[in-house]
Chains A and B, each alone.
Chain A
Amino acid sequence: MTARHRPLNPRRITVLAYHTFTQLVRMKVFYFLGAFAVILIAANFLRLPTHAAPEAVGVQLLYSIKSSCAGAMTLFSIVMAIVATGLLLPKDVEDRTLYTILAKPVPRLDYLLGKFFGVAALIFVSLLVMDLLMTGALQLRMGGVLEQQRAAGEAFGHPPEMIEAQLAETRALGPTWALQGAVFVIFLQSVVIISVALLLSTFSTSTLFTAIVGFLVVFIGFFQADAREAYFHGTGVLGKIGSAIMTTALPDLQLYKLIDAVIEGRPLEAFDLLKVTGVTLFYFVVYTFVSWLVIARKEF
């Protein structure tokens, strides 16, 4: 018999991913989380315009919309990535549905990847919805700000070039491509976290354990670059190796902080985006590989 059922069959992974996606969508617990995030973002449509000094207020307003939306998206994506992923495997083991799946010609790697892509797809779609809402809110509120600024400029008798320059500056704070890039970076961050949670759930049997350790890893992830700097600074080759091991074992999430920079209105360099994408792929491949090693030997 030839090896017809090699791992990494795209169709089989899609079937499993689609199933995971449906499973999570039909799990009503996550509706609350999603609704909460959406309300947080949609609230930006409703806030009343202020009548204070237009330059400062306009900028402040757009910044606060962006940061609150990005905050909601980040929080949602992290919680989803950890909790949803942490739920899946222990549930399959406990309910013995895993037996029925692995008793079909399904390689264990494909099973893992199906779970991964299912959660990733759900987060991607949710972020897309939130992104649309955020962009709509920004667009609307920016229109108001621009009008105010134009009126104020004209009242002060500023020359048209100066007014235009100011308006252009304001537009850079609105819905830009860089902002879309930042949302993509939020997604990439959740890809890393899903990979971590998946790895954790291959050797834990409880969702609670996965969730707690998962949040801990994320928390450390945001600070580990500083810790590494402090700990391994000037320790030579050995230090470099130790530092490399630490960044691989625990994901360095400081890289993903470029979201904040974009929100403050700084442009997103193509190189940075590429770098973050590369790092994300690295973590995804390493963690999935280790997950596979664990689950390939596991007995149920």
Chain B
Amino acid sequence: MEPAVEIENLTKVFPAHFGGRPVRAVDRVSIRIEPGEVYGLIGPNGSGKSTTMKALLGLVAPTSGTCRIFGADSLAVDSREQVGFLPENPYFYKHLSGAETLRFYGKLCGLRGKSLEARVDELLELVDLVEARDRRLGGYSKGMLQRIGLAQALVQEPRLVILDEPTAGVDPIGSRQIRDLVLALRERGITVFLCSHLLEQVQEVCDRVGIIFRGRMIREGRLEEMLSIEDQTELVLRDARPELVEEIRRLIEAADGAELVRAGRPRTTLERLFLRETVDRNE
């Protein structure tokens, strides 16, 4: 099968501005994403994540190298048929309501009539904006904008979705909604290419990640392989009596070659605590 994304040796140099030096935003980056994968590109601000995505969408022309979406060159308009894009910090037309926004983007993709209306309803349902459907986007919160943006990206049922910092500036509840949506996309076999500097979120949804720094791909691989510490084993117990823990400790000491690195109570993250105390309380 054709890869969903095929970036080969992409280099992008922005010409110098006002006596400054040219910026090498992306330097010989290659990424290949198979259909159905969720791929996360991580790296600090200014490391070339957005530029890579824009090149993949034909919004910037590569200085050298090629980008392809399902085999179609990114510089051709046809390549955009199978892709949905949510840009970084997006602002949509403030004068349109949620439903109008989706209708507009749907029509641009050639949808119309009953199927368009059905799609709009379905998407508003999916991103939980049914109540806000007739409100103008000027009055939407950041999280709502991000969700309408995600719905917009999905309007023509693309096989690939590209999300640039989908959770930046969104509160934990909103970002969990977005994370759940990404997981739902994966369930449906849609390829997702997202980037973020929020590592925890990438960790929660991605199958494979690439680490990009100063325009260069530093490391790439399957998440569990990259994160597992080869020579360690974790054991998490519930309702363990102190005597049991003591016993395990003794067994380890008696065993040859093994060493207890750490024992204690695992901590929840502040984010999980926050969610448990707010949203999950009402559910």
Which residues of A come within 8 Å of B, CB atoms? Answer: 1-5, 11-12, 15-16, 19, 22-23, 26-27, 95-97, 99-107, 297, 299-300
B95/A100 in contact, CB under 8 A: no
B77/A105 in contact, CB under 8 A: yes
Contact of A107 with B77 at beta-carbon distance under 8 Å, contacts A100-B152, A101-B108 already known: yes
A12/B95 in contact, CB under 8 A: no
A26/B78 in contact, CB under 8 A: no
Query: How many Å from the CB of B127 to the closest CB on chain A?
Result: 15
Give the CA-CA distance A220 to B180 in the complex, in Å: 59
Contact of A103 with B59 at beta-carbon distance under 8 Å, contacts A1-B72, A1-B78 already known: yes
Residue B107 at the chain A interface, CB threshold 8 Å: yes
Q: Chain B residues near A2 (CB, 8 Å)? A: 78
Number of chain B residues whose Cβ lies closer than 8 Å to a Cβ of chain A:
37
A103/B84 in contact, CB under 8 A: yes
A5/B81 in contact, CB under 8 A: yes
Q: What would 7 A/B residue contacts be, using CB atoms closer than 8 Å?
A: A2-B78, A12-B108, A15-B108, A16-B108, A101-B108, A102-B58, A299-B54
B149/A100 in contact, CB under 8 A: yes
Q: Chain A residues near B152 (CB, 8 Å)? A: 100
Give the CA-CA distance A23 to B137 in the complex, in Å: 13
Query: How many Å from the CB of A215 to the closest CB on chain B?
Result: 26
Of residues 24 through 82 on chain B, the ones whose CB sits less than 8 Å from some CB of chain A are 54, 57-61, 71-72, 76-78, 80-81
A97/B80 in contact, CB under 8 A: no
Give the CA-CA distance A95 to B137 in the complex, in Å: 13
Residue of A nearest to B50 (CB): A99
B92/A97 in contact, CB under 8 A: yes
Indicate which residue in B72, B90, B96, B109 contacts A104 across the interface (CB closer than 8 Å).
B109
B108/A97 in contact, CB under 8 A: no
Residue of B nearest to A6 (CB): B77
Total A-B pairs, Cβ < 8 A:
93
Query: How many Å from the CB of A1 to the closest CB on chain B?
Result: 5
A99/B93 in contact, CB under 8 A: no
The 3 closest A-B pairs by CB, nearest first: A103-B85, A95-B91, A26-B95
Query: How many Å from the CB of A92 to the closest CB on chain B?
Result: 9
Q: Chain B residues near A15 (CB, 8 Å)? A: 104, 107-108
Q: Chain A residues near B76 (CB, 8 Å)? A: 3
A104/B59 in contact, CB under 8 A: no
A299/B95 in contact, CB under 8 A: no
A105/B80 in contact, CB under 8 A: yes
B77/A97 in contact, CB under 8 A: no
Q: Chain B residues near A100 (CB, 8 Å)? A: 85-87, 90, 92, 105, 149, 152-153
A99/B95 in contact, CB under 8 A: no
Give the CA-CA distance A106 to B107 in the complex, in Å: 11
| A97, A101, A105, A300 pick with most chain B CB within 10 angstroms | A105
